[in-house]
A and B are shown apart, each in its own frame.
Chain A
Amino acid sequence: MPEQLMQQIVNGLLIGFMYALIAIGLTLIWGVMNIVNFAHGDFLMVGMFTSFWLYTLYGLDPLFSIPICTLLLFVMGLLIYRFIVSKVMAGPMLAQLVVTFGVSIFISNLAVYWWSPDFRLIAKPLLSGTWDISGVQLSIPKTVASIGSIVTSLFVFLFLKKTKTGKAILATEMDREAALLMGINTERINSLSFGMGAALVGIAGAFLSTYYYIYPQVGGVFGTIAFCVVALGGFGSISGAFIAGILVGLVQTLGGFFFDPSYKYAIVFMIYLITVWIRPQGLLGW
């Protein structure tokens, strides 16, 4: 029993770190421009497929395609912001709400059209197998992905706190007009944040592709969970998203362990409802 429980905690942490990384990108976009990026899960899918095709066509291991995924998704995010999202920023609330939804439907259907709805797997990734630590199984690709998530999150955190551009992002998030008066080109900050949010989920996609099924609708589950994570952590809060991601991972696996695995998502979404009900600003929100 304790060993099994330990195993579930480890599993929860391993998936939680991925949720955290995905959610950080989402919360960054929300925080800066008050836009819910419904296409976030689809960005993840694009990251996973990029990694898959680089492996299948060129034999490049997912581990080495991380920089390519990051850059590609950054540029994709930037372009989607510039040519689609920015056009509705000054428009009515509803337009802002549905624009990323449209992008989401477009991307996922394009993926079905190009690549078929099949499930795929990267056959022989460099990272595979498990470590056995006194009875607890530690999947190597998941562990490496978790370390990647921690390092990336830390990097984002330090970037925002320590660099001039990072502080400009935070300032824009807190008070756009005041940021303009400081000399910050907030439109540029929007593009950058959208690109960064997409790049972060691209990194997550590359890591996830080492051990998870790759299919056009894969973003649905992860995207929805990322919303729960962001809501739980507090909209716009990076550290909140990180902690909430781990919490949701733990709740999901432990909930599955103590009740029934088929309830695991129900329990996660219940947490979301409870958050909205009791503490709508989230754990670390303001």
Chain B
Amino acid sequence: MLSVNNISVGYKGLLALQDVSFHIDKGEVIGLIGSNGAGKSTILKTISGLMHPQKGEILLDGIPISQTPPYEIVKKKISMIPEGRRLFGRLSVLDNLLLGAYALDSKDEVEDALEDVFNSFPILRERKNQRADTFSGGEQQQLAIARGLMSRPSLLMLDEPSLGLMPKLVSEIFTIVREISEKGVTVLLVEQNVFEALHVSHRAYVLQTGRIVLEGKGEELIKSDLVRQAYLGM
């Protein structure tokens, strides 16, 4: 579905990603793990069009998309939920969701998407007229995920969805990720919570200082020495 071929991406001369390649097949949950500054978020930003690679290319179903602006990427059914949720705090829950569906053209489609996320996240229906910034951290993350789903993506990318949440809510977020995947949405998940992320992922890639150093099935990686030592502290 998506293949990333030898991309190098930089901020002002400094390369954040060097020669990174990986692929995502339809229906998979792919984990991207690595420490702070390894380049995980840069990968998501590059796929979503917020950044463009200096070298290499990104193909979506064989079509290059690495120079496409972000507002066109959404129309290609790739949606990204940014780190730190980035909700429109002074707008209502409903407005946040409707903005999530900005790329959809037909009103019926928007209605359907809204109905779907309300069914998945009943709390959003109850409190749809409340301002987003009055929500707690866990609720905000739910809203951020719901907003990301409003464009009806076939590939959903999540950047550190469990960041800053209490442990009980963290497992809830991973349950949600699993449910999204079961509905047929392909998921690309960036996480620092390595253990949970590897459990939910079919396959995962390990990034270190801008390069992919390891790749494998989620459950296999949990057992690998590199991952155990570097990220799980075992």
Chain A residues with CB under 8 Å of chain B are 164, 167-168, 170-171, 174-175, 177-186, 286
Contacts and interface: CB of A to CB of B under 8 A. Distances in A.
Nearest to A177: B50
Contacts of A167: 91, 95, 98-99
Interface of B: 48-50, 69-71, 74-75, 79-80, 82, 86-91, 95, 98-100, 102-103, 147, 151
B83 to A, nearest CB: 11
A187 to B, nearest CB: 9
Contacts of A164: 98, 102
Contacts of B80: 181
Given A183-B151, A184-B102, 18 more contacts: A164-B102, A167-B95, A167-B99, A168-B99, A171-B99, A174-B90, A177-B50, A177-B82, A178-B88, A180-B69, A181-B48, A181-B82, A181-B86, A182-B99, A182-B103, A183-B74, A184-B99, A185-B71
Nearest to B96: A171
A178 B100 CA distance: 10
A172 to B, nearest CB: 10
Nearest to A180: B70
Contacts of B49: 180
19 contacts: A167-B98, A168-B99, A174-B89, A174-B90, A177-B82, A178-B86, A179-B99, A180-B50, A180-B69, A181-B86, A182-B71, A182-B99, A182-B100, A182-B147, A183-B103, A183-B151, A184-B99, A185-B69, A286-B90
Q: Is the interface of A mostly helix, strand, loop or mixed?
A: helix
A242 B50 CA distance: 35
Contact of B86 (A177, A183, A186, A286): A177
Contact of B74 (A175, A177, A181, A286): A181
Contacts of B88: 170-171, 174-175, 178
Which among A168, A174, A181, A186 has the highest number of chain B CB atoms within 10 Å?
Answer: A181
* Residue from the set A174, A180, A182, A286 with the largest chain B CB neighbour count within 10 Å: A182
A162 B80 CA distance: 25
B91 to A, nearest CB: 6
Nearest to A185: B71
B71 A175 contact: no
Nearest to A168: B102
| Nearest 3 CB-CB pairings of A with B | A183-B103, A183-B74, A178-B86
Nearest to A175: B86
Contacts of A179: 99
A177 B86 CA distance: 9
A240 B192 CA distance: 42
Given A164-B102, A168-B102, A175-B86, A181 B91 contact: no
Contacts of B102: 164, 168, 182-184
A180 B71 contact: yes
Task: Pick from B48, B80, B82, B102 the residue with the most CB of A within 10 Å.
Answer: B102
A185 B102 CA distance: 10
A186 B50 CA distance: 12
Contact of B71 (A170, A184, A286): A184
A158 to B, nearest CB: 14
Contacts of B98: 164, 167
B189 to A, nearest CB: 16
Contacts of A175: 86, 88
B33 to A, nearest CB: 22
A179 B99 CA distance: 8
A178 B90 CA distance: 14
Contacts of B90: 170, 174, 286
Contacts of B69: 180, 185
Contacts of A184: 71, 99, 102
Nearest to B85: A178
Contacts of A183: 70-71, 74-75, 102-103, 151
B144 to A, nearest CB: 9
B188 to A, nearest CB: 14
Nearest to A170: B91
B82 A178 contact: yes
A179 B82 CA distance: 11
A170 B71 CA distance: 16
Contacts of A178: 82, 86-88
A213 B224 CA distance: 80
Nearest to A174: B88
Contacts of A168: 99, 102
B22 to A, nearest CB: 21
B221 to A, nearest CB: 29
